[in-house]
Structure formats: C-alpha cells, structure tokens
Amino acid sequence: MFALGIVLFEMTTGRKPFGGDSRASMMAAILTDEPPLISSLRADTPANLDRIVNKCLAKSPDQRWQSARDLAAALQWSTDDTAAHVPVSRAAWRHQGVRRTAAGVALGLAAVAAAVWIACTTSRPASTAPAPSPRFVQLTFRTGTVSAARFAPGGDTIVYSAAWGMNPYALFMTRAGSPESEALNVRDAKLLGVSTAGDIAFLRGNHATLKLLAPTGYGTLARVSMTGGGPRELLDDVIAADWNPGSADVAVVGRGQVDFPLGTRIHGAHAFSAVRVSPDGQRLALVEGPDIVVLDRAGRKTTLSSGWASSMASLAWSASGNEVWFTVNRPAPNSDLTTWALRAVSLEGKERVILPARGVALSILDVSRDGRVLMVSQYAKMGCTCQGPGDARPRDFSWLDGTAPEALSRDGRQVVFAEMLRGGGPGRGDHRRSREQERHVRRRSAHRGCGAPRGR
C-alpha cells in the first residue's frame, strides 16, 4: 500500500512525495516527514484524493488501506463524487484521468509484486493444499559474513550488520531492489533490532561476540538513530537484545539474567544466545542451549522445541505472533552433511517445516509484518596462498572449496594441502600441487602425516 501511494503521488504530481539530497536523508524523510498535499501542488485534484493517497502513505501499516480492493473502491467513490459536482465535459475528463490512475495502480501493483525480494510465506498452519514456492532475491553481493538483518519501519528499508572482506563488523542500510548498501559509520557492531521510531540497537564487541552463530563472550549494548548522530552505550555484559514493538522498551539477555524491560529482571539466564520480542510485546522467544523457549512477562518459561544444536540456532516471530520460526542444524542420519530447514513451532509446541533446504546453510534473520522473510545463506570457503622465492606477491594455491595447507617443500615449489570441506569428499585426501603447474596430485587420505623428505 505504501508503494502504491508513492506511485499515485508521482503519477498525479510528477514529483516524489519525500525529498532528500542523499539516500540516508530520503530514508529519514520517509520515517519522519509528512508528504505535501496533492491539492497544494495541483489545483485540479479530484475530491478526496488527498485523503486516499495520505492513507496509503501512513507511517503505521495499521492506518493504511488493508487491501487493494478497499483502495479501488475509494478511488471509484472519489470518481463518482467528482462526476456529480462538475460539468459533463469536465467530469468525463476527470473520469478518464482516474481510470488512468487506476490502471497505473494495477501496473504499480504488478511492479511491486515482481519486486518482492524475500521468500514470501504465510504463518498459517499447514493444509492439504500445496504451499506456493517461495521466491528469493539476493540483497548483498560482497564477500564476507552477514551477522544480522532487520526490516526498518515501513518494511522497504533493511538494516544489517556484516564483515566484508578483511574489515570488522559494521552497520549498513539498503532498500528493496537496490544492489547497493550504505554504511552507517558504526564499526565493531552487530545489529540487534530496529525500533518503530528508527532507533538501532546494536552490540559492540570483538569478532567472536559479534558473529551470527555460536557467539562467545559479552559485549556492550548501544543505540544509534537511523537518521544520524553518534552511538550511545547503554549496558555492558550483554549477549543479545531486541526492541519491544511499538515502544521504547528493550529486552536484554545479559550476564546471569534476562531483563524485560531493561532494569527489570524476569529470569536467570543460563545458556541463552538469542532473544526476540513477540509482536504484541507480551512474550520473549529465546534459544536456550538445545531448546527453543518462550518467557512471558512474569518470567514463566515454556519449552516449545528441544534437542537442537544450539550453536547454530536463530529465530524470529511469525507476522501473526502465534508461531516462532527458527533455523537450526541437526545431523542427517549416516551423512556428513547437515539437514537445514526453516521450521515453525506454535505456542502449543506443534512443529512444521516451512522450507526444507538439505545441504544449504540457511539462517532466519527477521519476518516483516506482511510475512516477508529475511534469511542469510552461508557458504564456507577456505583458501591457501604461498609466497615463495622470487615471487613478487603471494600465489593462490586453492583448489576446491576447502583448501587447507599442510606442508611446504624446502624449495618452496610444492605445497601439500587437504580439501577439508564438501569438495574433498568423504576421504578428505591430501593433495600435492606445484607452483609451476595447474594440475594437482591426490596423495592419500588426510591427516596421516605430512612430512616431505629430501625437499619434496
């Protein structure tokens, strides 16, 4: 509805409803400013069009039109009302204009539907009808690790934290359909949440504390505005936190306790590694060791699912708040691969698989109010470089996806390495490769010694 409101505004006025000299200032305008009235820019604006478009552009999704049918009915009503109060020739012109606008709305809806950039799923229980296949669209393209991502208010802006290349973790911002991201100039940070007011909660710490899965150690909880300004530190010894939707309250998992809101202890923390606040603000979903659990406001705990590998767990609430969606890994029987899937568990403990993904490492990051899902796919790769005598720069000796060096000949011309990941197969055999040749020789099974007598 918000996107359709922008389309209507631009079709009617020929200008954008929100201005700004940069992408950051435009995002800030979307979050904080009200668009001008169409009637103030065009004197021939049809009756009630201001109200119709402004309702599309409301900051709160609850205040917008709840369906395209309602919007179409309002446009038709506006057309009929206009026709009753103007001369026939004028009415015909306006009728044609509104019909063109309606056609543009349909075209805009098709464009918006074609631009859905996250897997679209529903939080309804499984039925006998086959579920539609989700559609994935890639949002980030650089080499590195994404540690967290959240939908910002309005749902079009995405805030995330990542470590690109050899750089430390930092905060970034992007928009739907854009291949580019904008750095927020906050380093050594892992995103924890984005409030409805556009405030970002993040964890400041070292690399081990800020990674996506199996974080170790504690960091410092801090906040910063999406619109600018410096970060403000709030609390030390924190491992996870999340905003309470619609308020300034924060749920915090710290050393030895869970606070909700900050300063009010509701539970003693044991092995909690992630926390998310429910859409109604009445429950917390947490990863506790091998379990997915829920705490209410009084600190009463309910275990919804158990037996998982906790170091690989991430979770989020469904859009309706009646399920916790989570991704974990559980070893597949008689296999060295991991069975990954996006799963859901109801508050009554009933589980279902939303998206099976065998052999693909997927982690859920966030669910928007309209059911879109942010996920990160993880692909591990190991490489090997060697700089020998006479080399001006290091040479890449990587072969498959998991090259790990084991020995170097005395003359520096041959490298013995193992392929430790999936490309190496079940044997993970040792390989030998020379600097002058592209070919390599598989020697034996890995980890049986790697001596190189006589310089070989």
Range with top average pLDDT, 15-24, 51-60, 195-204, 355-364: 195-204
Please check the confidence at residue 380 and state whether its pLDDT lies above 90. Answer: no
375 has which bridge partners?
364
pTM of the model: 0.62
Q: Output the 3-class SS for 101-150.
A: HHHHHHHHHHHHHHCCCCEECCCCCCCCCCCCCCCCCCCCCCCEEEEEEE
pLDDT 10s digits, 216-226: 778 999 999 98
Longest distance between any two alpha carbons in the chain, whole Å: 102
Under 8 Å between Cβ of 321 and 327: no
More confident residue, 72 or 326: 326
Sort 328 into a burial class: Cβ within 10 Å, 0-12 / 13-18 / 19+.
Answer: buried
Residue 351 CB partners (closer than 8 Å, separation 6+): 305, 343, 344, 345
Under 8 Å between Cβ of 85 and 52: no
Please check the confidence at residue 126 and state whether its pLDDT lies above 90. Answer: no
Strand positions, DSSP E, 153-282: 157-164, 170-175, 182-187, 189-194, 199-204, 219-225, 228-243, 250-254, 257-259, 265-267, 272-277
Under 8 Å between Cβ of 64 and 264: no
408 has which bridge partners?
415
Q: What's the confidence (pLDDT) of residue 95?
A: 35
Q: Tell me, rounded to whole angstroms, the distance of Cα 333 from its chain centroid.
A: 30
Joined tokens for residue 274: 């992630």
pLDDT 10s digits, 143-153: 888 999 999 98
Give the sheet arrangement for strand 372-378, strand by strand.
119-120, 372-378, 361-367
* Percentage with pLDDT > 70 across the chain: 75
Q: What's the confidence (pLDDT) of residue 359?
A: 62
Please check the confidence at residue 84 and state whether its pLDDT lies above 80. Answer: no
CA distances from 188 to 94, 163, 171 (A): 56, 9, 9
**Which domains can be identified in the chain, with CATH numbers?**
2-114 (1.10.510.10), 120-378 (2.120.10.30), 385-455 (no CATH)
